[in-house]
Amino acid sequence: MLVARCHVLTPLCGPDRLDRSAYLLLSRLDAEGAMSIGQLADAFQLDVSTVNRQTGTLVRGGLLERIPDPDGGLARKLRATTLGADRFTAERDRRRAALAGLLEGWTPGEVARFEEMLTRFNREVETHEGHAWPREDNTVDV
């Protein structure tokens, strides 16, 4: 139920919204910087062919670009283009505004407790899976 409920924000974000895979990929690249297809596949626990297909769509759409590995490795890396970064930022802002609208009747204490419990839940899942999501402390991603 919890996972299904997160999709309530999608219609609130408007017609120019990013699809789920685009948002997640751009979010991870925003958090970590350029990554290879293999690194993205590992981060999302997906098959390389799936990530290759998803990122290929974003490259063709001008949201991602392939670059040489800045560290000199053989694998090419992917990073958001200016358009991709702008679309991601706009989508994140819309999602945060939609979430704020849903929570506007909550007290500050209720919001803080909800954030605390979601953070705990997410970190427990990440520990169980062995794949931590990079984040700054005291930030909430939607």
What is the C-alpha to C-alpha distance for residues 112 and 131, in angstroms, rounded to an integer? 25
| Percent of the chain scoring above 70 in pLDDT | 84
Cα dist. 44→63, 69, 109, 115, 126 in Å? 19, 20, 33, 23, 11
Per-residue model confidence (pLDDT) at position 138:
47
Residue 4 has pLDDT above 90, yes or no: no
Residue 116 has pLDDT above 50, yes or no: yes
> Between 12 and 107, where is the model more confident?
107
> Between 69 and 65, where is the model more confident?
65
| Domain 17-128: CATH architecture, name and number where available | Orthogonal Bundle (1.10)
Domain spans of the chain, in order of start:
17-128
Phi and psi dihedrals of 103, rounded to 5?
A: -100, 5
Reported pTM = 0.80
Per-residue model confidence (pLDDT) at position 69:
87
> Between 134 and 35, where is the model more confident?
35
Amino acid at site 96? R
Per-residue model confidence (pLDDT) at position 1:
42
| Dihedral (CA of 142, 81, 19, 24) sign | negative
Per-residue model confidence (pLDDT) at position 13:
54
Residue 31 has pLDDT above 90, yes or no: yes
What is the C-alpha to C-alpha distance for residues 53 and 64, in angstroms, rounded to an integer? 13
Mean pLDDT across 8-34: 83
Mean of the per-residue pLDDT values for the chain? 87
What is the C-alpha to C-alpha distance for residues 83 and 81, in angstroms, rounded to an integer? 5
Alpha helices in 19-73 (DSSP H): 20-32, 37-44, 48-60
